[in-house]
Structure 1
Amino acid sequence: MSPPRLPVIAAAGAFAVAAAAVLLPPLTASGATPACSVEYSVTNSWDSGFQAGVKIINNGAPTSSWSLKFDFAGTQKVTQGWSAKWSQSGRTVTASNESWNGALPTGGSVDAGFIASGKGSDPAPTTFELNGVTCDKDPGSSPSPSPTGTDPSQPPADPGTAPALHASGNKLVDAKGAERHLYGVNRSGGEFMCVQGRGIFDGPVDDASVAAIADWKVNTVRIPLNEECWLGTADIDPAYAGANYVSAVKDYVSRLEAHGITPIVELHWTYGTYTGNSSGCADVHASCQKPMPDAQYSPSFWKSVAGTFKDDPAVAFDLFNEPYPDRATTTLDQAWTCWRDGGTCPGIGYEVAGMQDLVDAVRAAGAQNLVLIPGVAYANDLRQWVSHEPADPAGNTAAAWHSYNFNTCSSASCWNEQLTPVISKVPFVAGEIGENTCSHGYVDQVMSWLDAHDASYLGWTWNTWDCSTGPSLISSYDGTPTPYGTGLRDHLRSLR
């Protein structure tokens, strides 16, 4: 599923906060200099609002642009700002440089400020990220493992680590041969924030936010990505692309693994002009869901991603979010041929990379990681998955399925007919389940059916959006569930 378009609050002020003094970079507890430091201060307050300033100090490599991100702990809302382009989504605030103050040399600093509604006495932000890197943090430190417990029916790997997974028949097993199931959530943001010039992730991805996910007894998080942001193409702001983007994704993967959570990195938005049936946008760039991956960038994306994580078998790869070549072609057979083989596909104006091309790209990079392969009809139709299954020399693939109450195949009778033949052959992961009702009646049915068929599933999505505009599991990144999210949370906890 693609995220809803989120509102951006931004206002430019007419004055800047002056620099107070030249500061020496602070040291962390181990004595190492952090990559960046941030000073936050409330300079004025009144009954319904306050004025605050931030001083950003760059202790790392010089940069030509910057973006600062932090979360409010209360109900504060930015209403006006200066010396930066200010925006806010939920509790997450982003400040990006103006055209005249983007250069930030090593040892350099920049000041910016804002006015917000709320109370200045509300808790101040505690964690700041500059260009995706956590400030005031020892660069050699590692996140602490989660203190959450385990269950003998779903054994973890060594404490604080995620298990290496492999397909064995129609089961997923760990390095010791024990059967595993993937139960978890999606963490949307990496697919759209960067291409919209608003950051890398939507909301916090620090250790505290991962601990909140783990508290739901989640053992898997799927991370949607954008191929142009990962590859650093010219149309993406460098602050959110290339090395900065890759580093942010790697950091998040490490934090998840430190809590024993399996990361699934997934290709969500891709390049290529498509204006046919069910088109998400006319833009050639990776700014919406396209019907199929593109031959220009998608194999390169997967070769790079696979090369990045090939020595970490705990990371799983989901090849493409929701293929829908069936909406562009005239027959289902044509759609499945396009799905597997790519090339010139009926109704699609760009050269397509098929699922076989992407499997080949992953394995050519030397990665033996588990690969998830979705079906057609927005991953809701798997009827010809087995007969068109891509060849994999590593023998490590699983079928991926998406299920929402508004999909065509949304009943137990359809699942019995279309899914059971696939489940009997290969491991089966419902990479997205959800509903647009702000309730959990449908996902309760889906989870019950999948449990009975020994399958895995992940809810969409761990983001604080209005559940009436999209299936949002939480209302706060501390793990407070929406009415919809309550169903998933309580069910996952019941399994442990």
Structure 2
Amino acid sequence: MTGGVRTVVLPLLVALLSSPAASVAQGRPQLTGVNLAGGEFKPGRRPGVYGKDYLYPRDADLATFAKAGMNVVRVPLRWERVQPGLSQALSPEEVGRLDAVVARASAHGLTVILDVHNYGRYAGRSVTEPVVADGLVDLWRRLAAHYRGQRVAFGLMNEPHGIAATDWRRIVDRVMRAIRATGARNLVLVPGTKWTGAHSWMRTGGGGSNADAFAGFRDPGGNFAFEMHQYLDSDSSGTHPGCGGPDTGVDRLRAATAWLRSVRARGFLAEFGAGGDAACLATLDRMLAYMDRNGDVWSGWTYWAAGPWWPASYAFSVQPSRTGGERPQMRVLRRHLAR
């Protein structure tokens, strides 16, 4: 990305990260980037050995995607590694590693989304347990105080599931109050339950719909977006390389897009992925074009995924090959990056 482009985009990024939503200019999504996976690997090993069991983004990876024109990276992490005991002090070693990622990313003009990649669990225990819910509030109080005012967005929880939407909403309300009580005005990404799927946002079964539970949601800091995920395979799980028809992604986003507009809220598509065949690339392109046309509600996206530890066979990877070759999905993503 050239210096001239950065001078145009940066004011909008600052608005997204630290100002109320109403002040953000409408247009196509303004935070566009990739998940740099690795920090969530080997979750059963707590804490595990850094560099062997799990890894955070390297400077070379950050530089690669910044050079490609991206301006945000979502960095998965495991709650148990950052906070070894519920409602106890954060790990100085782990926070130091995350600080280094944030510093390197900022040097490349990238915003970091800290993604607690735990599915609504801590060491296998659900946030429906009061002590675990209290722990999540405590975790974000500590992280918000530490990263307050930095070029960091807060991803509250990756893909909560097995939790009634109304119960999850009550936990989120507590977490948001704790974050804002620190004085942090950073952008917060608020997921729903049911794996936070855009296609399932309106579904009422299994504890009520996210749409109903979050219809009246308010952020004391006025700077949040609803985090949604949307894969393009047959069951929206992201576990199959194939895609549906060319409008699969568009069709799966329509209801959530209308809902976001109806409640005057923003959305952020934090995970989506597609195989590299021609049909999937066309489907991916059409979905991103739809988000471009609805940039008044879709504030950004991060593709799943990149990272040096993905095998060459992983269908969704956009990590450059060892010979430096660009993955076909990157050619599609480039066409829809923030301008």
Check the 8 A contact 1:157/1:260 in 2, yes or no: no
Distance 1:182 1:477, change over 3 A: farther
Q: Displacement of 1:243 after TM fit?
A: 0.8
Aligned to 2:50: 199
Structure 2 SS opposite 1:366: coil
Structure with greater proportional strand content: 1
Pair 1:449-2:302 in alignment: no
Once residues 150 and 223 of structure 1 are traced to their aligned partners in structure 2, the CA distance between those partners, rounded to angstroms, is: 27
Residues 366-445 of structure 1 mapped to structure 2, 5 A cutoff = 366-380=183-197, 381-383=200-202, 384-385=209-210, 387-389=212-214, 390-406=217-233, 407-408=235-236, 410-424=248-262, 425-436=264-275, 440-445=281-286
What is the RMSD of the two structures over their aligned residues, measured on CA atoms?
Answer: 3.6
Once residues 8 and 106 of structure 2 are traced to their aligned partners in structure 1, the CA distance between those partners, rounded to angstroms, is: 16
Residues 71-110 of structure 1 mapped to structure 2, 5 A cutoff = none
Counterpart of 2:327, as a letter, is: T
Structure 2 SS opposite 1:431: strand
Q: 2:307 aligns with which of 459, 463, 467?
A: 463
Counterpart of 2:35, as a letter, is: N
Q: Displacement of 1:437 after TM fit?
A: 5.7
Check the 8 A contact 2:276/2:328 in 1, yes or no: no
Counterpart of 1:466, as a letter, is: P
Check the 8 A contact 2:274/2:316 in 1, yes or no: yes
Q: Displacement of 1:453 after TM fit?
A: 0.5
Once residues 152 and 251 of structure 1 are traced to their aligned partners in structure 2, the CA distance between those partners, rounded to angstroms, is: 22
Distance 1:271 1:427, change over 3 A: closer
Q: Displacement of 1:466 after TM fit?
A: 3.2
Once residues 4 and 327 of structure 2 are traced to their aligned partners in structure 1, the CA distance between those partners, rounded to angstroms, is: 25
Deviations 1:312-366 (A, max 9, x none): 2x311111111223xx6xxxxxx2212212xxxxxxxxxxxx2212212212333
Check the 8 A contact 2:61/2:307 in 1, yes or no: no
Counterpart of 2:160, as a letter, is: P
Once residues 54 and 283 of structure 2 are traced to their aligned partners in structure 1, the CA distance between those partners, rounded to angstroms, is: 26
Which has the bigger relative contact order, CA under 8 A and spacing at least 6?
2
More moved, 188-197 vs 423-432: 188-197
Pair 1:360-2:177 in alignment: yes
Deviations 1:350-389 (A, max 9, x none): xxxx221221221233322111112232111333545433
Once residues 294 and 161 of structure 2 are traced to their aligned partners in structure 1, the CA distance between those partners, rounded to angstroms, is: 26
Distance 1:257 1:414, change over 3 A: same
Deviations 1:115-140 (A, max 9, x none): xxxxxxxxxxxxxxxxxxxxxxxxxx
Q: 1:337 aligns with which of 158, 166, 181?
A: 166
Aligned to 1:318: 155
Counterpart of 1:227, as a letter, is: W
Deviations 1:223-253 (A, max 9, x none): 112111111349xxxxxx8111100101111
Check the 8 A contact 1:188/1:202 in 2, yes or no: no
Once residues 31 and 68 of structure 2 are traced to their aligned partners in structure 1, the CA distance between those partners, rounded to angstroms, is: 13
- Higher radius of gyration, 1 or 2: 1
Residues 282-293 of structure 1 mapped to structure 2, 5 A cutoff = 284=124
Counterpart of 2:272, as a letter, is: I
Once residues 152 and 204 of structure 1 are traced to their aligned partners in structure 2, the CA distance between those partners, rounded to angstroms, is: 25
Once residues 162 and 477 of structure 1 are traced to their aligned partners in structure 2, the CA distance between those partners, rounded to angstroms, is: 37
Once residues 56 and 183 of structure 2 are traced to their aligned partners in structure 1, the CA distance between those partners, rounded to angstroms, is: 32
Distance 1:461 1:428, change over 3 A: same
Aligned to 1:300: 138
Task: Give me the TM-score of the superposition, normalised by structure 2.
Answer: 0.75
Once residues 58 and 96 of structure 2 are traced to their aligned partners in structure 1, the CA distance between those partners, rounded to angstroms, is: 14
Structure 1 SS opposite 2:213: coil
Q: 2:21 aligns with which of 153, 168, 171?
A: 168
Deviations 1:171-198 (A, max 9, x none): 746xxx9997110011112223575323
Once residues 228 and 396 of structure 1 are traced to their aligned partners in structure 2, the CA distance between those partners, rounded to angstroms, is: 27
Distance 1:356 1:216, change over 3 A: same
Check the 8 A contact 1:323/1:378 in 2, yes or no: yes
Distance 1:423 1:258, change over 3 A: farther
Q: Displacement of 1:441 after TM fit?
A: 3.4
Once residues 188 and 270 of structure 1 are traced to their aligned partners in structure 2, the CA distance between those partners, rounded to angstroms, is: 15
Check the 8 A contact 1:265/1:315 in 2, yes or no: yes
Q: 1:228 aligns with which of 43, 56, 80?
A: 80
Counterpart of 1:307, as a letter, is: A
Q: 2:111 aligns with which of 257, 262, 275?
A: 262
Check the 8 A contact 1:440/1:486 in 2, yes or no: no
Check the 8 A contact 2:37/2:56 in 1, yes or no: no
Q: Displacement of 1:478 after TM fit?
A: 8.9
Pair 1:247-2:96 in alignment: yes
Once residues 219 and 141 of structure 2 are traced to their aligned partners in structure 1, the CA distance between those partners, rounded to angstroms, is: 15
Structure 1 SS opposite 2:81: helix
Once residues 492 and 245 of structure 1 are traced to their aligned partners in structure 2, the CA distance between those partners, rounded to angstroms, is: 34
Distance 1:255 1:477, change over 3 A: farther
Once residues 179 and 437 of structure 1 are traced to their aligned partners in structure 2, the CA distance between those partners, rounded to angstroms, is: 24
**Identity of matched residues, %:** 25
Once residues 35 and 94 of structure 2 are traced to their aligned partners in structure 1, the CA distance between those partners, rounded to angstroms, is: 18
Structure with greater proportional helix content: 2
Structure 2 SS opposite 1:229: helix
Counterpart of 1:337, as a letter, is: T
Structure 2 SS opposite 1:459: strand
Distance 1:193 1:167, change over 3 A: farther
Once residues 492 and 442 of structure 1 are traced to their aligned partners in structure 2, the CA distance between those partners, rounded to angstroms, is: 14
Residues 271-282 of structure 1 mapped to structure 2, 5 A cutoff = 272=121
Q: Displacement of 1:391 after TM fit?
A: 3.2
Distance 1:395 1:204, change over 3 A: closer
Q: Displacement of 1:469 after TM fit?
A: 4.0
Unaligned runs of 5+ in 2: 203-208, 238-247
